[in-house]
């Protein structure tokens, strides 16, 4: 018996897939089809696959051509599968010519001519793409622009920036460069806002009032009531309002939260997050609490909840600018736990995250906010476990996918819960109201 194996995503199953499977089947007596998981596709840069793994498997099954369907989950799995199933022929479309020659050591490799004129990507792009406008300056805007190219269903068609130097980066791109926010809103379906936090509330309100979806760099507002108002406005108008905290979209960070919620380090007694950098600052700079606070607060509110009993804020502030902190430390007391953040734009410390529990602790090394690796450590060192998950595009890519999916489904698919966003805005409000102890003036 000749065994043939082939792999694919099979999203929105089409005629090209059908023909490929028919010809692969005709090469032998027994056909194994490997369907790739969403995670594996994300790692390969194929993103925003429309159908779930189960739906895609079902499409392959429905052809009746596969004698066996398997799931492809990890790099290097093809060699394992070929050995495990005793495969004679590996078949794949001609778009992959040469890529799988390394398998010739284990079986025959056949590249079948690809069916012209059809692909999942084409079908996906027929779904209307969301026109996204980017608002603000800085390298994050450029990163969003670059990452948007890897996400189906989102096209950056306009950028609003007043920075002439940055405008030059986009000179050869097909998009409108605009100085005026109102003008930008006329051109887009959705905006990503990275302006100074003091402008967020009014810019978001304007966008929502004009029927535009909003993804905003956290914090969404500098007062809790402002957040509540914006959230209500979005939901009343069936619009998506999403808090942009890249770390929330890292696979490793999500995996870490899951393991902690499952009890892998026992009961959590302390969450301590540090995010610092040393940056030049001027009048347009974000203070430390608004630039780093949301990220540092994320694991605390996601693990311990938002109902803390007490907190104290201590800040190192500028002599002539009382709301501009160079460094801030916040200590929280919860019912059965404590937590702390240390954030600073002018003080440097070890950027680690430590979550202490009754049976062990989670350690995420610096810079933990770009999480791709963490460890669970125990009294008995032999029980320690290391976890690594690829982080593509600093989380921006998956954040854009979640935003696009939310708009498509009309349902907020955000990884930062509303109550977390609200609690972050409350911290900003307390800081704005000078509810902090002064460590020193600089």
Task: Report yes or no: 194 and 140 within 8 Å, Cβ to Cβ.
Answer: yes
Neighbours of 16 (CB within 10 A): 18
Residue 114 in contact with ligand CTP, rule: CB under 6 A: yes
Spatial distance between the Cα atoms of 285 and 137, rounded to a whole number of angstroms: 11
Applying CB under 6 A, the span of 6-14, 270-278, 286-294, 430-438 interacting with ligand CTP comes to 6-14
Residue 10 in contact with ligand CTP, rule: CB under 6 A: yes
Residue 95 in contact with ligand CTP, rule: CB under 6 A: yes
Spatial distance between the Cα atoms of 34 and 150, rounded to a whole number of angstroms: 24
Out of 121, 333, 433, 434, name the contact with ligand CTP by CB under 6 A.
121
Out of 93, 136, 351, 393, name the contact with ligand CTP by CB under 6 A.
93
Applying CB under 6 A, the span of 2-10, 324-332, 365-373, 415-423 interacting with ligand CTP comes to 2-10
CB closer to ligand CTP, 118 vs 187: 118
Residue 115 in contact with ligand CTP, rule: CB under 6 A: yes
Q: How many residues bind ligand CTP (CB under 6 A)?
A: 16
> Under 8 Å CB-to-CB from 155, ≥6 apart: which residues?
129, 130, 131, 132, 148
Spatial distance between the Cα atoms of 321 and 313, rounded to a whole number of angstroms: 17
Out of 48, 120, 291, 302, name the contact with ligand CTP by CB under 6 A.
120
> Which helix (H) or strand (E) is 6 found in, with range?
strand 3-8
CB closer to ligand CTP, 53 vs 355: 53
Residue 8 in contact with ligand CTP, rule: CB under 6 A: yes
Applying CB under 6 A, the span of 116-124, 287-295, 353-361, 379-387 interacting with ligand CTP comes to 116-124
Residue 92 in contact with ligand CTP, rule: CB under 6 A: yes
Handedness of CA 389, 390, 395, 400 (dihedral sign): negative
CA dist 14 to 51, 56, 84, 120, 210, Å? 13, 11, 29, 7, 38
Spatial distance between the Cα atoms of 396 and 249, rounded to a whole number of angstroms: 7
Runs of H (alpha helix) within 215-287: 224-236, 251-261
> Under 8 Å CB-to-CB from 179, ≥6 apart: which residues?
160, 161, 162
Q: Which residue is nearest to ligand CTP (CB)?
A: 93
CB closer to ligand CTP, 59 vs 418: 59
Out of 20, 188, 316, 400, name the contact with ligand CTP by CB under 6 A.
20
Task: Return the ∠ at Cα 160 (arms to 158 and 166), rounded to 5°.
Answer: 100
Applying CB under 6 A, the span of 119-127, 130-138, 177-185, 308-316 interacting with ligand CTP comes to 119-127
> Under 8 Å CB-to-CB from 11, ≥6 apart: which residues?
49, 50, 51, 56, 120, 124
CB closer to ligand CTP, 9 vs 251: 9
CB closer to ligand CTP, 8 vs 133: 8
CB closer to ligand CTP, 60 vs 193: 60
Q: What are the structure tokens assigned to 150, written together? A: 């890897």
Residue 119 in contact with ligand CTP, rule: CB under 6 A: yes
CB closer to ligand CTP, 110 vs 318: 110
> Which helix (H) or strand (E) is 317 found in, with range?
strand 310-318
CB closer to ligand CTP, 120 vs 195: 120
Beta-bridge mates of residue 192: 134, 215
Give contact residues for ligand CTP (rule: CB under 6 A). 8-10, 16-17, 20, 46, 92-93, 95, 114-115, 118-121
């Amino acid at each position: 018996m000749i065994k043939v194996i082939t792999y694919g995503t099979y999203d929105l199953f089409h005629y090209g897939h059908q023909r490929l499977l028919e010809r692969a089947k005709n090469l032998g007596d027994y056909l194994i089809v490997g369907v790739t998981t969403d995670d594996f596709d994300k790692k390969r840069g194929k993103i925003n696959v429309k159908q779930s793994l189960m739906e895609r498997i079902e499409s392959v099954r429905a052809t009746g051509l596969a004698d066996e369907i398997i799931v492809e989950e990890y790099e290097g799995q093809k060699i394992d599968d070929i050995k495990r199933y005793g495969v004679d022929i590996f078949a794949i479309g001609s778009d992959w010519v040469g890529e799988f020659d390394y398998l010739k050591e284990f079986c025959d490799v056949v590249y079948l001519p690809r069916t012209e004129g059809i692909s999942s990507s084409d079908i996906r792009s027929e779904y209307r793409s969301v026109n996204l406008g980017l608002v603000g300056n800085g390298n994050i805007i450029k990163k969003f622009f670059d990452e948007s190219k890897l996400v189906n269903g989102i096209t950056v068609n306009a950028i609003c920036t007043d920075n002439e130097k940055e405008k030059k980066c986009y000179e050869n791109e097909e998009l409108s460069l605009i100085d005026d926010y109102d003008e930008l809103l006329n051109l887009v379906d959705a905006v990503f806002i990275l302006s100074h936090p003091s402008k967020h509330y009014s810019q978001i309100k304007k966008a929502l009032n004009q029927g535009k979806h909003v993804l905003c760099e956290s914090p969404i507002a500098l007062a809790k009531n402002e957040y509540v108002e914006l959230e209500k406005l979005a939901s009343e108008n069936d619009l998506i309002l999403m808090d942009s905290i890249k770390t929330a979209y890292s696979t490793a960070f999500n995996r870490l939260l899951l393991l902690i919620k499952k009890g892998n380090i026992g009961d959590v007694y302390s969450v301590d997050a540090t995010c610092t950098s040393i940056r030049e600052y001027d009048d347009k700079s974000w203070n430390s609490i608004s630039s780093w606070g949301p990220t540092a607060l994320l694991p605390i509110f996601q693990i311990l909840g938002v109902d803390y009993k007490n907190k104290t804020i201590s800040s190192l502030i500028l002599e002539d600018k009382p709301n501009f902190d160079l460094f801030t430390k916040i200590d929280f007391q919860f019912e059965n736990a404590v937590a702390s953040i240390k954030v600073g734009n002018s003080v440097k410390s070890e950027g680690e995250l430590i979550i202490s529990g009754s049976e062990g602790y989670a350690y995420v090394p610096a810079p933990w906010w770009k999480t791709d690796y963490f460890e669970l450590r125990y009294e008995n060192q032999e029980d320690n476990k290391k976890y690594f998950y690829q982080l593509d595009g600093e989380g921006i890519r998956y954040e854009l996918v979640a935003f696009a999916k939310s708009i498509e489904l009309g349902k907020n698919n955000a990884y930062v819960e509303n109550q977390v966003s609200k609690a972050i805005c409350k911290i900003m409000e307390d800081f704005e109201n000078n509810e902090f102890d002064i460590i020193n003036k600089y």
